[in-house]
Amino acid sequence: MEKYRKKCIGKLNSMKISKTKLEGVLIVEPKVWNDDRGYFFESYRKDILEETVGHPLDFVQNNESKSTYGVLRGLHYQLPPFSQTKLVRVIEGSVLDVAVDIRKDSKTFGQYIAVELSEENKKQLLIPRGFAHGFLVTSPTALFSYQVDNYYSPEHDRGVLYNDAEIGIDWDIDIEKVLLSDKDIKQPKLKDAEIFMNSTNLYA
């Protein structure tokens, strides 16, 4: 049965997974089957993702937000022992999704990637523990969904300022059109933030 299952996985080829310049951050592109009724795709495959990342993925909480154009949420993360892996996607609309390496001992510390996620391209971003995450809504509205592998903990919730010059994120929007929460306006710069000092044992 196990041999048959592995053969089936190979034949299904249900998603393409691409590495990025930030170790552990992955772009997930599900294969979409279209016909005259609409479409179907597998939005999550635990076995394929675990084989790629090399450790168990046990998502325990699903979150969803709806936002209007110009809303920027982030950059957010949680400290251990409540640090989180996130698998994020857009159900309706489009966003510019950003992950920032905040592992102090990482060779890509302070660097970021930005990926467009939309209902059209159906791409997802897998963001491991040790990264800050944020997104900017680029459509009139956007319905954003993400799974996390640890529960929300207000005491461990932290953030980094979205326009910190040390990171230099190009959000590609007129700054006057950005809509932020009071919390995100007051986030610290990376040099002043509580971050991950060690890139190892984040899944211990």
Catalytic residue among 77, 112, 133, 146: 146
Nearest to 83 by CA among 33, 140, 148, 144: 148
Catalytic residue among 76, 77, 112, 162: 76
For residues 89 and 147, give the distance between their C-alpha atoms in angstroms, rounded to a whole number: 9
* Alpha-carbon distance values, 176 to 70, 71, 104, 171 (Å): 9, 11, 32, 12
**Cβ-contact 130, 106 below 8 angstroms:** yes
**Cβ-contact 150, 84 below 8 angstroms:** yes
For residues 17 and 102, give the distance between their C-alpha atoms in angstroms, rounded to a whole number: 23
pLDDT tens for the chain, residues 1 to 204: 454 444 444 435 788 999 999 999 999 999 988 889 998 988 889 999 999 998 889 999 999 999 999 999 999 999 999 999 999 999 999 999 999 999 999 999 999 999 999 999 999 999 999 999 999 999 999 999 999 999 999 999 999 999 999 999 999 999 889 999 999 999 999 999 999 998 878 987
Q: What is the pLDDT of residue 201?
A: 81
Verify whether residue 156 is a known catalytic residue. no
Query: What CATH class has 21-26+58-192?
Result: mainly beta
**Cβ-contact 97, 114 below 8 angstroms:** yes
Single pTM value for the model = 0.91
Counted residue by residue, the chain has a size of 204
Give the full edge-to-edge strand order of the sheet including 72-78. Answer: 112-118, 94-101, 131-137, 72-78, 157-159
Domain spans, the chain: 21-26+58-192
Q: What is the pLDDT of residue 7?
A: 42
Verify whether residue 133 is a known catalytic residue. no
